[in-house]
Amino acid sequence: MDFAEQQAPSLGMTVVDKEVIPPPTPDYTPFATKLKDAGANWVFSWAPWVTQVRTLEALRRLDWKGDYIAWAHIEAEGELARLKDGSFYVIGANALFQDQLPIHKEIAEAAKKANVQYPPQQMAEGWIAGMVVEAALKATGWPATPEKLAAAMAGLEVDTKGLRGGPVAWTKDNHFRTRQYYRVYKWDSTKGGIVRVKDWTAFDVK
């Protein structure tokens, strides 16, 4: 949030308030009141999901009419449908299941077969991690050694099949990814569903 605060002026935005809210807060109203009274017409939230959504709900109870954008944690898809708030946006690195990609169907079928108790929509992040582990081990070969695994990971590239905006690519010095992609979604009341507001936007990871 400190970085976002520094970036805002270069984007023509004026920061009117910044709240640090502990996730177990029993009542988010005081924090929401400060944001509303400061005159915010947009709120950007980067926090655990419970903090993001309860702050939004507290703002709405105060009759705040602004726009709210939050990080698309694994709960985002189900919560967008629950809240049905046309001014609530989420930004994230994973394609939501509403896109109905073949890989989404594969994840849902695997979750059902394994009798997983969580919604398939919450499985994408773990699935991607599994794809990376699988690719690393395949590239390493057998018998595996720490040295061979490290060498395989130094040039790893994994096709996420649309779950991300591009491949997960690693180098010797970068085991995060060389490019990061973001996509924005929101609830559309006229369509009665989640819609894509902004398609994949790529940034080089430095």
DSSP 73-129: -TTHHHHHHHH--TTEEEEESS--GGG--HHHHHHHHHHHHTT-SS-GGG-HHHHHH
pLDDT at 175: 84
Range of the domain at 50: 2-93+180-204
Are 109 and 161 in a shared domain? Answer: yes
Residue 174 lies in a domain: no
Are 80 and 107 in a shared domain? Answer: no
* Whole-structure pTM value: 0.92
Are 199 and 154 in a shared domain? Answer: no
Are 86 and 111 in a shared domain? Answer: no
pLDDT at 177: 84
What's the domain count of the chain?
Answer: 2
Mean pLDDT by 10 residues, the chain (206 residues): 92 95 93 98 96 97 98 97 98 96 98 95 95 96 95 94 95 88 96 96 91
Are 22 and 50 in a shared domain? Answer: yes
